[in-house]
Amino acid sequence: MLERSISALRLICFAACTFLGSAAVSAEAKPNIVYVLVDNWGWGDISIQGGVTPTPHVDALARQGLRMTNFNVESQCTPTRAAIMTARLPIRSGTSRVPLGEPYGLTPWEYTLAELLSDAGYKTGLYGKWHLGDVEGRLPTDQGFDEWYGIKNTSDEAAHTSTPEFDIDAVTEDNLPYIWKGKRGEAPKKVEPYDLKARDRIDRRVTELSEKFIRDYAKEDAPFFLFTAFTQIHTPMGVHPDFKNFTHTGVYSDILAELDFNIGRIIDALDKAGVANDTILIVTGDNGTYPQGFRGGSNGPWRGGFTGYEGGLRTVGMIRWPGKTPAGAVSDEIFASLDWMPTLAAMIGESGRVPKDRPLDGVDQSDFLLGKSKKSNREYVLMYIGDQLFSVKWRTLKVHYKTVEDLLSPIQSYLFPPMYDVSNDPGELNNIFMDSNTWVFRIINKILAEKKASMAEYPNVQPGEDFKGYGCEVGGKGDCSARQ
């Protein structure tokens, strides 16, 4: 009897120790995630993709992981950030364009990447630009981030108080631009006015706080998620004093040099903290730069910027997870900013947290990023600007329903939409619509019909709407199996 009791005790102990050991391995194996987002970064702004300003830190990072030459975003700042955070087309979440003073931002009902990671036990922090809501309930610390420092909206605001037309008596204190900081559960606090002087220095402070976040949380047992959203490269064009005339080729080149330096500091911080091998590091842009010849940026061979052309769709995109993502790999397979939530959730073993009560447009690309598949799980990209569909890219073929050359140009509509083969015609100049290619419309029309039906069943959230969900569990985050 005693022997049997001892054997049973040993069995229980073994089982318990095995479980605890598995839990420890599982917790230990969960990687940190650092996402560095650059504002208005042209595909050709980095030297490894043809840029003339040296970007050695970014280039070195690209060689250490997977560089995606067909990384697709939305046409403007707000929609891309919404796509990253929700895996939903921005038209669904009421964030499909940059607002011009009207109510906007992600409704509290939306479930963000930061919330998913926080729920999975991650410490979360955002430093830099938010641009997904500027009122209570729609700030970073309302949407999954434990701490936050930066600006609510866009860097354009830094120039407001310096314009001759600015009238301090015509605006309220709440509408004056400030840099803010906040912690979850507390009201955010003003740090300092966001003016031209602060605009030149903010990315240095964002970098320093990102370094501190890495140092502090690298010592903790829990993994961390750091979202560093630089304010560069955005008007008004300014640069930190340390980089003024650094390149002797203009302010845009000086900004690129500063940006590369700051990214290098974040990479070094991971090395110094001893967590580089345990960290998924992502570096992307949020949309292409200003069209060629304007402000100095380069979208490489791709046409346009802030449009439905490839120069507005494609930007810099790379990922490194040492020993996991293939080193030195380059792929022209399609990847979209919409794909990050389901992909990262799969990579950390938390796919069960991805919402099932709402339509998601992102797809799990974990096998592609981890080198298990050379093919992407995505064949097409839809480009909405505002509530209008501008273009559809299916594989290498691109159809334009509307076009616009830049932010200030009129919109052109078509009786017969032009079609381009972007693999052989990056400038989208040779219309192949009449070259017996109308068969493609059957495929594209099926895609659009499915999206239309989905948006009819799950109506799009309107800009600024206080949306409460589709009638499922409280908060709209439950598993609505009837809709699957």
Out of 380, 407, 422, pick the residue that ends a domain.
380
Query: How does residue 271 score in pLDDT terms, banded at 50, 70 and 90?
Result: very high
Q: Which residues contact 180 (CB under 8 A, 6 or more apart)?
A: 148, 149, 150, 151, 152, 188, 189, 190, 191
Q: Do 319 and 435 reside in the same domain of the chain? A: no
Q: Do 336 and 418 reside in the same domain of the chain? A: no
Preceding omega of 236 cis (within 30 degrees of 0): yes
Residues in the chain: 484
Q: Do 421 and 373 reside in the same domain of the chain? A: no
Q: Which residues contact 134 (CB under 8 A, 6 or more apart)?
A: 104, 105, 152, 153
Stretch 409-437: mean pLDDT: 95
Out of 349, 380, 411, pick the residue that ends a domain.
380
In the DSSP assignment, the letter for residue 328 is: T
* % of the chain with per-residue pLDDT over 70: 90
Quick check: 217 pLDDT over 80?
A: yes
Lowest mean pLDDT among 110-119, 365-374, 429-438, 475-484: 475-484
Residues 230-258 as b/e (b if ≥16 CB within 10 A, e otherwise) read: bbbbbeebbbbeebeebbeeebbbbbbbb
Quick check: 211 pLDDT over 80?
A: yes
Stretch 321-343: mean pLDDT: 98
d(CA 465, CA 484): 25
In terms of average pLDDT, the best of 100-109, 191-200, 469-478 is: 191-200
In this predicted structure, what is the pLDDT of residue 472?
58
Task: Using alpha carbons, select from 386, 391, 388 the residue that is nearest to residue 401.
Answer: 391
| Backbone φ and ψ of 320, nearest 5° | -135, 125
Summarize pLDDT for 25-49 with one digit per residue, the tens: 344 579 999 999 999 999 999 999 9
Summarize pLDDT for 134-173 with one digit per residue, the tens: 999 999 999 999 999 999 999 999 999 999 999 988 888 8
Lowest mean pLDDT among 224-228, 288-292, 330-334: 288-292
Q: Do 259 and 125 reside in the same domain of the chain? A: yes
Summarize pLDDT for 355-410 with one digit per residue, the tens: 999 999 999 999 999 999 999 999 999 999 989 999 999 999 999 999 998 888 89
Lowest mean pLDDT among 143-157, 283-297, 425-439: 283-297
Q: Do 375 and 413 reside in the same domain of the chain? A: no
Neighbour tally for 154: CB within 10 Å: 20
Quick check: 479 pLDDT over 80?
A: no
Task: Using alpha carbons, select from 110, 120, 103, 115 the residue that is nearest to residue 145.
Answer: 115
Q: Is residue 4 part of a domain?
A: no
In this predicted structure, what is the pLDDT of residue 173?
80
Q: Do 101 and 237 reside in the same domain of the chain? A: yes
Tokens of 379: 């064949």
AA identity, residue 100: L
Q: Do 346 and 424 reside in the same domain of the chain? A: no
Q: Do 225 and 292 reside in the same domain of the chain? A: yes
Q: Do 290 and 404 reside in the same domain of the chain? A: no
Q: Is residue 361 part of a domain?
A: yes
Helix, coil or strand: residue 68: strand
Task: Using alpha carbons, select from 92, 49, 55, 99 the residue that is nearest to residue 71.
Answer: 49
Helix, coil or strand: residue 484: coil
Task: Using alpha carbons, select from 141, 139, 130 the residue that is nearest to residue 78.
Answer: 130
C-beta separation of 417 from 434 below 8 A? no
CATH code of the domain in which 319 resides = 3.40.720.10
How many distinct structural domains can be found in the chain? 2
Average pLDDT value over all residues in the chain: 91
In this predicted structure, what is the pLDDT of residue 180?
98
In this predicted structure, what is the pLDDT of residue 356?
94
Query: How does residue 7 score in pLDDT terms, banded at 50, 70 and 90?
Result: very low
The domain in which residue 408 lies consists of: 381-483
Q: Do 373 and 417 reside in the same domain of the chain? A: no
Query: How does residue 92 score in pLDDT terms, banded at 50, 70 and 90?
Result: very high
* % of the chain with per-residue pLDDT over 90: 83
Out of 350, 380, 410, pick the residue that ends a domain.
380
In this predicted structure, what is the pLDDT of residue 168?
86
